[in-house]
């Protein structure tokens, strides 16, 4: 299981699932702050039993400043492959009051599939927080993901 959240910030692009979403603000983070890719990356790393996203891409390392999160996910999918696994299924949820994300879900699946996870093995849901909490107040966005790995034959 993976989770990520980021607050909104001015003068940033909003990147979710590897797709630039037209919106007046972006998400604040050391990298491009792609909450969906971060949650999926965290889920894959967790399924492998190899810590979390911060273990592999610490925000204290200048090397990851402004990193493209879909590329980070791609490297973790490759790490899974090198450890004898393939990503069999991703189920994820983006939680955002605004902007409306459902029109971008198919583009997100297509972008994420470029990491080596087949598009047909990716499920993305977009939900609101019904006006509650930091998400409901429009202060940021969160995402959750679960990952099922398949052990490949040697």
pLDDT of residue 153: 81
Q: Answer whether residue 154 shows pLDDT above 80.
A: no
Q: Mind listing the pLDDT tens digit for each residue in 83-138?
A: 999 999 999 999 999 999 999 999 999 999 999 999 999 999 999 999 999 999 99
d(CA 28, CA 14): 9
Give backbone dihedrals phi and psi of 129, rounded to 5 degrees, phi first: -110, 20
Domain 2-151: state its class.
Answer: alpha beta
- 146, 137 Cβ separation under 8 angstroms: no
* Domain parsing of the chain, residue ranges: 2-151
Q: Mind listing the pLDDT tens digit for each residue in 20-75?
A: 999 999 999 999 999 999 999 999 999 999 999 999 999 999 999 999 999 999 99
Residues with Cβ within 8 Å of residue 69, at least 6 apart in sequence: 15, 18, 31, 32, 33, 34, 37, 38, 41
3-state secondary structure 30-55: CCCCCHHHHHHHHHHHHHHCCCCHHH
What is the average per-residue pLDDT within 2-30?
Answer: 97
């Amino acid at each position: 299981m993976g989770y990520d959240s980021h607050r909104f910030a001015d003068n940033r692009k909003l990147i979710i699932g590897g797709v630039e979403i037209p919106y007046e603000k972006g998400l604040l983070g050391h990298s491009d702050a792609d909450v969906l890719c971060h949650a999926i990356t965290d889920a894959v790393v967790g399924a492998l039993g190899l810590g979390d996203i911060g273990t592999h891409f610490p925000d204290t390392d200048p090397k990851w400043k402004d990193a493209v999160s879909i590329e980070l996910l791609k490297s973790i999918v490759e790490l899974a492959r090198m450890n004898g696994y393939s990503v069999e299924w991703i189920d994820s949820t983006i939680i955002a009051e605004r902007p409306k994300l459902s029109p971008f879900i198919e583009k997100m699946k297509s972008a994420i599939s470029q990491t080596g996870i087949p598009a047909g093995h990716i499920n993305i849901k977009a939900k609101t927080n019904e006006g509650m909490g930091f998400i409901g107040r429009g202060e940021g966005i969160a995402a959750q993901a679960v990952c099922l790995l398949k052990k490949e034959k040697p």
